[in-house]
Amino acid sequence: MITRGDIVLVDTNVIIEAHRVRCWRAMENFFKVETVEKCSEEAATGDRRRADYVAVDVEEMKKGVAVHAVSLLELAEIETRLAEPDRIDMGEKHLLAHAIARPGVWYLSASDRAAVRAGNELGFLERFVSLEALARAVGISPQFKNHFTEKWLSALRTDILMGGTQ
């Protein structure tokens, strides 16, 4: 069970969705939220003309979270440990590369099927946590897009464990 002060590694989409529903600051104050440089870069980009574009003030975000550099050696390791590393977006690949290199207890929040499947392949499927579960731990319940919910993550975990390809 995730609790106050736990380390939570977050991907680009989680950063953006947490800003969209306005739960980022509460999460930042409750957990030790961390990410990697690539996810931080991705969160600052996008088509600002899109109706659903969410602005993320990355410089402000960096004041409250740790943003880690990922070495070429860490990226090479993820490339060799995964059967299909090209199926994962760059931000998630960097985040997973950082995750496998770090000791201790941590959780990872990502909303991408390929990233969760890769996490299983790397042996830490049980460390994945939905953005919805993080928000609930903080004490708020905004309306999330489907792939940020506990229901979505639970169904994907079950499918993975049952050998499915969903």
Helix or strand (DSSP H, E) at 145: none
Burial of 145: CB neighbours in 10 Å, binned 0-12, 13-18, 19+: middle
**Residue 165: its pLDDT value, please?**
63
CB-based contact 116:160 (threshold 8 Å):
yes
| Range name among 4-13, 48-57, 75-84, 146-155 with the lowest pLDDT average | 48-57
DSSP annotation of 147 reads G
User: Tens digits of per-residue pLDDT, 64-121?
Assistant: 999 999 999 999 999 999 999 999 999 999 999 999 999 999 999 999 999 999 999 9
Two tokens, residue 104: 């201790």
The structural domains of the chain, ordered by start, are: 7-161 (3.40.50.1010)
Two tokens, residue 113: 């099927």
CB-based contact 96:78 (threshold 8 Å):
yes
